[in-house]
Structure 1
Amino acid sequence: MTLAPHTEAQARTVLEAACRIAGVDAEGAELMRFGENALYRLPGGIIARIARVGQSAAAAREVQVARWLEANHIPAVQALPEIDQPVEVDGRGVSWWRELPPHRHGTALQVAAALRRLHDLPIPTSFDIGRLDPFVRLADRIDQAITLSEEDRAWMHERLTALRARWASLPSGLPEAVVHGDAWIGNVVGTSDGRTILLDLERCSVGPPEWDLTSTAVKAHTLAGITLEDYRQFSAAYGHDVTTWAGFDTLRDIREFRMTCMAAQVAGENPARHPEIMHRLACLRGERGPRPWVWEAVP
């Protein structure tokens, strides 16, 4: 499957059609973010989330996960209960959510507490939450990285193959649990009313808890985005230091590769970001010295 073009004009057309189907007022819809998904603020404190083509199943599971978390008293984004969702328009799943109060990225301690609560839940039996796939859509993102040379794309495909083999032979670790799937600090936020809330639930699934913990370890050790003391407090609060596990290097390398593939996708849609994908590739190839590296955020 190739990734269809993803433009703001297309997203707005999809939004208007989906809102008509669902009976939601789209008048004055305000674009909040245009990245992997498009987010719009609608009247009445409603947020519309538009997935990319081919991601309707993930959007449906995200709604199920949100309702399951709410039933289990886990603070997370809330899907509007009165709408049968997602609605699919032109292959894109559209879902509707309650707007959060003012919020900011979570701290390492807030991420640890949120993950501890999530990982302690029993695996749901009322719906199929699926199994974690850390490689979802990566091959497509590489193929669609139009600013890269054939040689660079070939290198990335070879890297992907090697990482798949390493994932398949991970050593044993913590008991499997429901994992967030993309637990970086931007997806765990602190709100102005004192709550810590999980966002972006589309990759929630059953898998090794170490995968969620690796995101914060990468933030500290690969990107120096938090201090080593912050990371120590994170590990202590959660009760496990994933960097001491024999499988950590594999999960770290997969996480770094996912971030690089995202940069490749962004550069394909916005060539001005091409230098960032080339920098990340150079880091992965060992051409920028040892970690930590400085990577610029991509939308």
Structure 2
Amino acid sequence: MLKQACAQVGLPSSGAEPIRLGENAIYRLPHQVVVRIGRSGQVTAAEKEVAVSRWLASVGVRAVEALADVDQPIVIDGSPVTFWRELPEHRHGTPPEVAAVLKRLHASSLPTDFDLPPLAPFVRLSERIDGATTLNEGDRAWLRRQLAKLTKAFVDLPAGLPRSAIHGDAWAGNVVLTADGPVLLDLERFALGPPEWDLVSTAVRLSTFGTITAKEYEAFTTAYGHDVLEWNGFEVLRDIRELRVTCYAAQRASEQPSLRGEAALRVACLRGMRGPRPWPDWKPLS
């Protein structure tokens, strides 16, 4: 598939090096080009990522750059193949650096040649709850009730910042710093929605996980000019974020037994069995 896609756009595939082979297969080509082969059926998502990349360039927000002279995605056997400029040397962004790029993004005019989909924070959660074989029935029932409660609460969110284009998964690993400034990665979840959804990603690092200090969080809010912790809808978005990462852990634990303890810990925390937040003993999933 890699050779076929490269041949269609006139790029050499010899010497391709795998970067990551997971749900999406990513390869490095000569001349600082990266190829991403998506899952079958994900053509629309790939089209959005390319369109978002080009729109962000037009409004002055730096992001991973889709090759400009390639008509993409290429579709082979139902799988989308896209081509990107490789990032130069970089590091993960600090909280204020993340805030600065989010502030610019949220202030940007919306694209006019395509529509961003509305934020959909509950995608696949029901399926993950039902399909997680390591959950006991008590935990499964609680997670279902929590999902139903938060689905209703999300519809009834109080007024907040003006709706805008949002990144959708704005954790620190998706903002990197190069010599030329911050760059947004992972454009898959771009949407139209409340800017607070992006801000909560950093707020929960303080309030839920305890992985940043109060001083680091203050630098984030100062750089952005708004503190989502003071918004009446914060707890709803926080709880949705927590539910998402817990359901993901439960799904992964069904496939990888070594993660069962982590999945059980997360459910117990949400159910109030491990004391109040923060819960610093949560571990990233490998």
Alignment TM-score, normalising by the size of structure 1: 0.88
Q: For residues 264-297 of structure 1, what are the alpha-carbon distances to aligned partners after superposition, in whole Å with 9 as ceiling and x for unaligned?
A: 3333343322222111111111111111112211
Change (3 A) 1:139 1:86: farther
Letter in 2 for 1:127: F
Relative to 1, partners in 2 of residues 1:275 and 1:55: Cα closer, same or farther, differing over 3 Å? farther
- What SS class does the counterpart of residue 81 from structure 1 fall into? coil
1:9 aligns with: none
Residue 210 in 1 paired to residue 213 in 2?
A: no
Gaps of 5+ in 2: none
- 1:68 matched to 2:86? The reply is no
Among 164, 176, 181, the alignment partner of 1:189 is 176
Distance 1:138 1:172, change over 3 A: same
Deviations 1:149-202 (A, max 9, x none): 4554443333222211110110011111111110000001112x2411001111
One-letter identity of the residue aligned with 1:245: W
Alignment size in residue pairs: 285
SS in structure 1 of the partner of residue 176 of structure 2: strand
Q: What is the Cα-based RMSD across aligned positions, in Å?
A: 2.0
Over 3 Å counting, the alpha-carbon distance change for 1:25 and 1:252 in structure 2 is same
Asked if 1:229 corresponds to 2:215, the answer is yes
Structure 1: gaps (5+ residues)? 1-13
1:244 to 206, 230, 233: 230
Tell me the amino acid that sits aligned with residue 199 of structure 1.
Answer: L
- Tell me the residue number matched to 1:254: 240
Structure 2 counterpart of 1:268, from 243, 254, 279: 254
3-state SS of paired residue (2:81): strand
- Give the superposition deviation at 1:214: 0.4
Counterpart of 1:6 in structure 2 is none
SS of the residue 2:47 aligns to: helix
Deviation, structure 1 residue 53: 4.0
Aligned to 1:169: 156
Q: Where in structure 2 are the equivalents of 1:1-299 lying within 5 Å?
A: 14-35=1-22, 37-191=24-178, 193-293=179-279, 294-299=281-286
- Summarize the Cα distance change of 1:272–1:168 in structure 2 as closer, same or farther, 3 Å threshold: same
Q: TM-score normalized by structure 2?
A: 0.91
> How much does 1:250 deviate?
0.2
Asked if the contact 2:59/2:109 (under 8 Å) is kept, the reply is no
Q: Percent identity?
A: 54
